[in-house]
Amino acid sequence: MKKLTEEFIRMFGKSDRQIRFFAAPGRVNLIGEHIDYCGGYVFPAALTLDNVVAVRENGTSKMNMCATDLARVYTADLSDIDKAKELKWGNYQAGMAKELLEAGINVRGVDMLYDSTLPFGAGLSSSASIEVVTGYALASLFANEMPNRIEIALMGKRCENNFVGVNCGIMDQFASAMGKKDCAILLNCDTLEYEYVPLDLGDYVLILANTNVKHKLGSSKYNERRQEVEKGLSYIHTAAPDDKRPYLCNYTVEDYLKYDEYITDDIIRKRVKHVIYENERVLHATKVLKQGDLVSFGQILCEANDSIRYLYEVTGIELDTLFDLAMEEEGCIGSRMTGAGFGGCTVNIVHKDKIESFKKNVGGKYTERTGLQADFYICRIGDGVREVSVNN
Ligand code: GLA
């Protein structure tokens, strides 16, 4: 943290007050895509790529925020926090401050410097990690009683829904807050019950392949999908008025087969089919993983990719190209897009002796076909949000 401390002092000056450091990771989702907001099961894991923040109280009512790759400081006034919605950068942080204030925590003015190893806009939840690290840092400084990590995650979700305006589910913030080294989290997004599942991949590694594109319409398409599944749920409620359940994922594949003919809109039927089958796939996938059957786990990931590609339709040419190319590679036993889609990353299970050939072949052909450059990261699974010692 020495370098970050120096930069912090260069940016905000010296003071007697203490600078503290906090880190929160991004996540990869292994399976269970676009079903967190349908009360489904998801299976994410926290990465070792993260957002670190250096923070110090400043004796004012202002949050002064900057990042190591930004040229200027953005300011939010805690006494008029809604105004910070207009900020080009810093609105996630301001939204978190608002959540803490609403929870009765007496947030005061701070200087904050962020440093990220997470690629931005790559579908690895850089925004959730900013929300979680900010909430955790401000609560650590100002709360009389520290909220637990799940509460921080829920504040992050509300911040994104209400302040930022993306109607996301709980998965990303939960993974960033609750991640555990070398484990994925099987999370029931309806009840928030969860279980850590060791990710023991033996001779295999997870490789993230970044398309390096982020489609502009991503967040509006995201909100559109949410409306479509709401519509799907109302079709089922109409078909089965005596069996109304709150979420789509409260219905099983058997139920789907009973009600699908009542969903007269073809697009909505495809969306609902994805959601309900994906939910069952998550449970199947985690079961085979626990049994050590990595090959079946990989196959289920590929089936999930077909579903999100052809039924939910949130991939696009770049993600599809990366998936198709991965399937051609010897030593790759599973692949799928991860996260919201519309660009971002695929996650691939690759034999450790084939890492270099995988990167070279997939990367080379991806450039030939799309004119774009892909990036590859070996995925290491780390812990959730935490305070970091100054000596790190
Ligand atoms: C984004 C959202 C999550 C989740 C995924 C898709 O990452 O933030 O809540 O819906 O997309 O699974």
The residue behind tokens 């450059």 is: 373
The pLDDT of residue 215 is above 80:
no
Q: Would the pLDDT of 217 be above 70?
A: no
Cα 362 to Cα 242, 323, 328, 347, 370: the distances in Å are 51, 9, 9, 13, 12
CA 348 – CA 336 distance, rounded (Å): 7
Residue 120 has pLDDT above 90, yes or no: no
The CA distance from 108 to 127, in Å, is 22
Q: What is the pLDDT of residue 219?
A: 76
CA–CA dist 44, 39 (Å, integer): 15
Ligand 1, residues 47, 160, 172, 275: which to mutate, most atoms within 8 A of Cβ?
172
| Residue position matching structure tokens 């709980």 | 170
Rounded CA-CA distance 187/35 in Å is 11
User: 39 falls in which pLDDT band (50, 70, 90)?
Assistant: very high
Distance CA 134, CA 158 (A): 14
Quick check: is 36 catalytic? no
Of the residues 36, 111, 115, 172, which is catalytic? 172
| Token duo for residue 164 | 């930022």
The protein residue with its alpha carbon nearest to ligand 1, atom 9, reads 169
Going from the Cα of 2 to the center of ligand 1, the distance in angstroms, rounded, reads 34
Q: Are 341 and 330 in contact (CB under 8 A)?
A: no
Degrees to nearest 5, angle at CA 272 with 271 and 273: 90
Distance in angstroms (rounded) separating the CA atoms of residues 309 and 57: 47
If one residue of 35, 36, 159 were mutated to test the ligand 1 pocket, choosing by the most ligand atoms within 8 A of its CB, it would be 36
Give the ligand 1 atom nearest the CA of 123.
7
Residues sharing a CB contact under 8 Å with residue 337, sequence separation 6 or more, in sequence order: 33, 123, 305, 308, 309, 314, 315, 319, 323, 344, 345, 346, 347
Q: Which amino acid is at 53?
A: V
Q: Inform me whether the pLDDT recorded for 322 exceeds 90.
A: yes
Rg, Å, the chain Cα set: 21
Task: Confirm if 335 and 349 have CB atoms less than 8 A apart.
Answer: yes
Report the C-alpha gap between 111 and 96 in whole angstroms: 15
CA–centroid distance, residue 159 to ligand 1 (Å) = 14
**Quick check: 55 and 39 in contact, CB under 8 A?**
no
Question: Which residue's CA is minimally distant from atom 8 of ligand 1?
Answer: 168
Pairwise CA distance, residues 377 & 360, whole Å: 13
Per-residue pLDDT band at 350 (split at 50, 70, 90): very high
Q: Are 310 and 320 in contact (CB under 8 A)?
A: no
- Average pLDDT of the chain is 96
Q: Kindly indicate the confidence band of residue 372, based on its pLDDT and cuts at 50, 70 and 90.
A: very high
CA of 11 to the centre of ligand 1 (A): 34
Residue 337: enclosing H or E segment and its boundaries?
Answer: strand 332-338
* Atom 1 of ligand 1, nearest CA residue: 340
d(C-alpha 111, C-alpha 389), whole Å: 18
**Listed range (1-5, 102-106, 277-281, 292-296) with the worst mean pLDDT:** 1-5
* Protein residue closest via CA to atom 10 of ligand 1: 34
Q: What is the pLDDT of residue 115?
A: 98
- Residue 356's CB is within 10 A of a number of other CB atoms, namely 9
Q: Which atom number of ligand 1 is nearest to the Cα of residue 127? A: 8
Side-chain-side CA neighbours of residue 251 (13 Å): 30
Q: State how far the Cα of 321 lies from the Cα of 365, in Å rounded to an integer.
A: 9
- For 233-286, write each residue's pLDDT tens digit: 999 999 999 999 999 999 999 999 999 999 999 999 999 999 999 999 999 999
Contact 387/18 with Cβ under 8 angstroms? no
Mean pLDDT of 305-325: 97
Instruction: Find the Cα–Cα–Cα–Cα dihedral 141, 142, 143, 147, rounded to 10°.
Output: -50
Judged against a pLDDT cut of 90, whether residue 218 lies above it is answered with no
| Ligand 1 cavity residues, CB under 6 Å | 29, 33-34, 36-37, 125, 168-169, 171-172, 339-340
pLDDT at 214: 81
Cα(202)–Cα(225) distance, integer angstroms? 37
Atom of ligand 1 nearest to the CA of 33: 12
Measured in residues, the chain has a length of 392
Ligand 1 centroid to residue 79 C-alpha, Å = 31
Question: Is residue 391 over pLDDT 80?
Answer: no
Task: Tell how far the Cα of 100 is from the centroid of ligand 1, in angstroms.
Answer: 23
Confidence (pLDDT) at 11: 95
Q: Which atom of ligand 1 is nearest to the CA of 37?
A: 10
How sure is the predictor about 220, in pLDDT bands with cuts at 50, 70 and 90? Answer: confident
| Domains defined along the chain, listed by start | 2-198+382-388 (3.30.230.10), 204-226+275-378 (3.30.70.890)
168 CA: nearest ligand 1 atom: 9
Atom of ligand 1 nearest to the CA of 32: 12
- Centre of ligand 1 to C-alpha 357, Å, is 31
| Per-residue pLDDT at 392 exceeds 80 | no
DSSP code, position 161: I
Query: What are the DSSP calls for 56-115, one per residue?
Result: EE-SSSEEEEEETT-SS-EEEEGGGGGGGGG-SSSHHHHHHHHHHHHTT-----EEEEEE
pLDDT per position as a tens digit, 159-169? 999 999 889 99
- The phi, psi pair for 248, rounded to 5°, reads -55, -40
Atom 2 of ligand 1 has which residue's CA nearest to it? 168
In this structure, what token pair is assigned to residue 56?
Answer: 């110090």
CA of 315 to the centre of ligand 1 (A): 13
